[in-house]
Structure 1
Amino acid sequence: MSSDEFAPPIRPAAPSRRTFAGSRSVAALILREMATSYGRSPGGYIWAILEPIGGIAMLSLAFSAFLRSPSLGLSFPMFYATGMLPFLMYIELQGKISSSLNFSKPLLAYPTVTFWDAILGRFILGVMTKLLVSYIVLGSIMTFYETRVTLDFLRILESFSLASILGLGLGTLFCYVFTRFPMAQQAWGIVSRPLFLISCIFYLYEGVPEPYKSYLWYNPLVHVIGIMRTGFYPTYDAQYASSVYVLSISMISLVTGLLLLQRHHAELLSS
């Protein structure tokens, strides 16, 4: 008999060790993202807060000059904040995650760092940042303005969760598409510019005439924003809003993106 027959079998690393290594990789990527995204520019996180405040203020000033009251409630800033904040949550996550492979390409050369670590790191930091910003913005509006809103935290959490999952799903799919076809990112930037106008941020879905209302229904952000507004305005019943529709798009995009990245990530990183 050869000595190989008596050699102990080679066992793969324990799942707990791989989980610990993956957690350390994600934590390191989060710290790196914080340093590069918010640590190099003057003000850092202050700009993350000023961005939605500036947008909400401009919309409030523009529309209050022509309208006596917003479509819901008494406060223009609150009405536009309930539309803009979940929209920005999606935009931030989709944009960050779609470029995560290129952003973390030097670190992905290490065997302990996977493409999923890069995606998860940007997702966690993006969600934490936008939730904190939303809390500050909404809390400030409720402090300084007469809003008369009634908070339904479950609906608010549902809206932010749907915006996050949608950003994760489409961002993961676009991570493959944009890395594989660089011109697609520029094309998507042009195609997606009208999203701000067709996501019901500064008007209600019910006020859109047919046939455009039927077309808008297929925009998942319309559903996300409708659910958000039901969390602040108890008299508003967004019967058109479907969480199942948003989740379906998100999960199909996420699974498709992960399968494509799993199959082609080595090729993408070497190109």
Structure 2
Amino acid sequence: MAGLKPLEGAITAIGGETLGGWVDPAGRPEPLVLLLTVDGAERTRTVLGAPVASASGDHSRRAFRFHLPADAPLQAGDRVVISEAASGAVLRGCPLVFDGPAAKAIEKRAATEPTPEEIEEMRALIAALPRPGQRTQWTVFGSALKAFVLRELRDRFGRSRSAFIWAILQPMIFMVGLTAIRHALGRGREDIYGVSGMYFFWLGVVPFFMFLHGFNRCLGATRSYRGLYQFRQVQPFDVLLVRVLFEFLTMIVVFALLLSGFVWFGQDISADNWLLFGATVATMFVFTLGMGLLADVCVVKLPESRQVIGVLERPLFLISGVFFTIDQVPPGVREWLLWNPLLHGVDLARGAMLHKYDPLGSWMYLLGSALVAMLLGLAAYRRYRRDLIGQ
């Protein structure tokens, strides 16, 4: 039925034979009956279950779960819709196409949503901050960011010792893979601009992963903290700023550790310009935050855009200069690739660390792209701030 306000809720678990989540009845008379439609045909119905605690601490949410017959499970490519049987209002985020990546994305999103206990801890921490009249606005802002950084630190590395190990292993896997490809092509022993191939690839993987990880952490991030926006010290912008900053700091620590490893194994580390490297990383931070603001607004306003963004991300690794430099690209293709700001950032960062390589990336283009991305992101944030905080 056109014009119906969508049901507020989310799917938190999906499989071939079961599908579960929560929904907010929002004043609708109970019991509320939900209908599961697959490829336009009704498959099963269910009645809302027990209340579940929301991020804001109330119990307006209701759990639901669909059970499908073992001989007729969901198949890859099925178009799934959950709606209210009486009015036809559709659950936000539907329809969705059932497949492996979609199921993993739903599970990952559900796992990152704070538990009620974590929300209460954050509330107590924020509430303990002195009143704005007792300190300057910037001091209060810094204290709020500190609280979020501590929460991110515990969330990423406090629950599993393997998290930091994986943060190191992931870029190393990329380096080893690219080095193996060079060996397969018969060029494994050749130095690239006076350094080993693995070190050359590492200088491209670090700035690219800084952007990729920070950008992905922004997708739908503001919706995870809606229960905290009742405090004036907490704004959606703070969440995105902390997540991008945390990813950049993590990659800088990983970069320093592996850089020490290269020195240990005899690699000559003669950085040509540390100041240029730092300026490039700072500019890419601004670019990542601006793009993250835009992406988060898109995901909140149009949840289906998450899949579109995921598709657009995939070719970035191939066109951002991780395993090549700008001067190695044929002239006919180079003009098109130079529109990618990440290519300039990776090239400038690599040029700052290799004294035998003269970077062709444009510092002004990277800086201009970062400023444009930040201005557009702030404009979108200002326009849709109420949607981000759930008002």
Q: Which residue does 2:304 correspond to in 1?
A: 183
Q: Which residue does 2:382 correspond to in 1?
A: 262
1:109 partner SS: coil
Q: CA deviation at 1:70?
A: 4.2
Aligned residue among 173, 179, 191 for 1:54: 173
Question: Contact conserved, 2:223 with 2:388, CA < 8 A, in 1?
Answer: no
The structure that is helix-richer by fraction is: 1
Name which one, 1 or 2, has greater alpha-carbon Rg: 2
Q: Matches of 2:132 and 2:162 in 1, distance apart? A: 43
Q: Which residue does 1:127 correspond to in 2?
A: 248
Q: CA deviation at 1:216?
A: 0.6
| Mapping 1:14-33, distance limit 5 Å | 14=133, 16-33=135-152
Q: CA deviation at 1:14?
A: 4.2
Question: Unaligned regions of 5+ residues in structure 1, if any?
Answer: 1-11
Q: Deviation digits for residues 220-259 of structure 1, max 9, x if unmatched?
A: 1111111112122222112x31122112222222122222
Q: Deviation digits for residues 132-158 of structure 1, max 9, x if unmatched?
A: 111111221222143464442112212
Q: Matches of 1:204 and 1:70 in 2, distance apart? A: 14
Q: Does 1:137 align with 2:258?
A: yes
Q: Deviation digits for residues 30-75 of structure 1, max 9, x if unmatched?
A: 1111122222334222211111122112212221332141432231
Question: Unaligned regions of 5+ residues in structure 2, if any?
Answer: 1-130
Q: Deviation digits for residues 161-217 of structure 1, max 9, x if unmatched?
A: 232222112112212122111111210110120110111111121111132111010
Q: CA deviation at 1:89?
A: 0.7
Q: Which residue does 2:325 correspond to in 1?
A: 204
Q: Matches of 2:132 and 2:184 in 1, distance apart? A: 65
Q: Does 1:247 align with 2:367?
A: yes
Aligned residue among 196, 213, 224 for 1:92: 213
Q: Which residue does 2:338 correspond to in 1?
A: 217
Q: Matches of 2:149 and 2:199 in 1, distance apart? A: 31
Q: Does 1:37 align with 2:152?
A: no
Code of the residue aligned with 1:124 in structure 2: it is L
1:58 partner SS: helix
After superposing the two structures, state which structure 1 stretch, 61-70 or 28-37, moved more: 61-70
Q: How many residues align?
A: 259
Question: Contact conserved, 2:290 with 2:377, CA < 8 A, in 1?
Answer: yes
Q: Does 1:72 align with 2:193?
A: yes
Q: Matches of 2:267 and 2:135 in 1, distance apart? A: 52
Q: Does 1:194 align with 2:291?
A: no
**CA separation of 1:228/1:105 partners in 2, compared to 1, >3 Å: closer, same or farther?**
same
Question: Contact conserved, 1:77 with 1:141, CA < 8 A, in 2?
Answer: no
Question: Contact conserved, 1:155 with 1:227, CA < 8 A, in 2?
Answer: yes
Q: Matches of 2:153 and 2:347 in 1, distance apart? A: 31
Q: Does 1:114 align with 2:257?
A: no
Q: CA deviation at 1:101?
A: 0.8
Give TM-score scaled by structure 1 length. Answer: 0.87
Q: Matches of 2:141 and 2:326 in 1, distance apart? A: 43
Q: Matches of 2:384 and 2:182 in 1, distance apart? A: 48
The structure that is strand-richer by fraction is: 2
Higher relative contact order (CA 8 A, sep 6+): 1
Question: Contact conserved, 2:301 with 2:387, CA < 8 A, in 1?
Answer: no
1:270 partner SS: coil
Q: Matches of 1:201 and 1:14 in 2, distance apart? A: 49
1:79 partner SS: helix
Q: Does 1:228 align with 2:349?
A: yes
After superposing the two structures, state which structure 1 stretch, 38-47 or 244-253, moved more: 38-47
Q: CA deviation at 1:81?
A: 0.5
After superposing the two structures, state which structure 1 stretch, 37-46 or 78-87, moved more: 37-46
